Amino acid sequence: MAFDFAAVTAPFRMQPGLRALAPGAAQLTPSRPGERALEEKLAVLTQHADQALLAAPGFQAGAALQALCAHAEAEHPQALQRNADGVRAPLLGWGLRGDVVVGDGPAEIGRCLGALPAPWRLAGLLSLAFAEDFAVIDGQTATIPWLAVCLPSHWSPQEKIGRHFAQVHAPVADNRLLLAASDHLARLVTGTQRWERFVWTITPEVRLDMHPQRTPKRLWPEDADAEGLARSAFLRTERQTFIPLPESHQAIFTIHVESGPLAEVVTAADEAAALHAALATMSEAVLAYRSLAPARDRLLEWLAARAGGAAR
């Protein structure tokens, strides 16, 4: 997982948590056939593209998409290549010549891209070529006018498109810091510096796609002991980064969702201690928002044991 456990802090607070990206740090992750994120994204774009690919009325994403293509090619030329005719994703075996789908990769990928409306095929190709989901942030209005999000974490992209940062984060528990910083954050991430942040939770849901209309919330087992509960739990993480487009006062927001069995991901005592401290200091509102209240005490017991007494 790309998750950095240094981002787990206590006392836990819902806050921006931005940190500057080091020069040369990559922001994208190439996808390959057979990988879990690609398979789930392909299913969403095949069956629910209208829930994932969204633009505010009148917004033109062409310049931002071309900037994303240039960034992707510079970081991972093995995953995305541009030429005079169009763009291709060699690892997928598919590309676009203009808006015509070309290639000889897995047939289901070609069918999916061909079924998308022509103006959305480049966004679809980028979504499949990389593990990240994407959004465009407008720094002048602090709104999100464009989304290509296949793997949301219990939120609906249809409800966020065109909204102000404050409206987007309104449902978040203990959101005072996020709301107060909304306009400042929009200006900050659309400047010249590249930023990243990490988000995490513990969940009984294995799927990456958690759109509320497609994935009903899975309940924690009531009768499992601490060990049994932990064995059925997953650490779900997001690495979020911002590719700034300062000339247009915009940024491309990237979201890399990963999920792994808690007992396999948390192997070091200091990792368990960090999660224990954070979980122990979550407010009741945050526990309810993240559906952690029924599992909190058992997770704390398991994390304390995994930390070897380091958790207090």
- CA distances to 33, 107, 179, 269 from 93, in Å: 10, 10, 43, 42
The DSSP code sequence of 202-253 is EES---S-B-TTTSPPPPPPSS--HHHHHHT-EEEEEEEEEEEEGGGTEEEE
Helices 121-129 & 36-47, crossing angle to 10 degrees?
Answer: 160
Residue ranges with strand state E in the chain: 19-20, 53-55, 81-82, 86-89, 94-97, 100-103, 133-138, 143-148, 195-203, 234-245, 250-261
pLDDT at 23 (0 to 100): 92
Q: Using one digit for the tens of pLDDT, what is the confidence trace for 176-202? A: 666 566 788 888 999 999 999 999 999
pLDDT at 311 (0 to 100): 44
Residue with tokens 């928002």: 289
pLDDT at 164 (0 to 100): 85
pLDDT at 179 (0 to 100): 57
pLDDT at 16 (0 to 100): 79
Bridge partners of 147? 54, 135
For residue 195, the SS3 value is strand
Bridge partners of 197? 240
* pTM over 0.85, yes/no: yes
Helix (H) or strand (E) holding 50: helix 49-52
Ranges of the chain whose pLDDT falls below 50: 311-312
For residue 152, the SS3 value is coil
CA 181 distance to own-chain centroid? 20
pLDDT at 169 (0 to 100): 66
- Identify the CA nearest to 172 among candidates 276, 299, 61, 282: 282
- Residue 211 buriedness (CB in 10 A; 0-12 / 13-18 / 19+): buried
User: Is there a contact between 258 and 199 (Cβ–Cβ < 8 Å)?
Assistant: no
pLDDT at 171 (0 to 100): 66
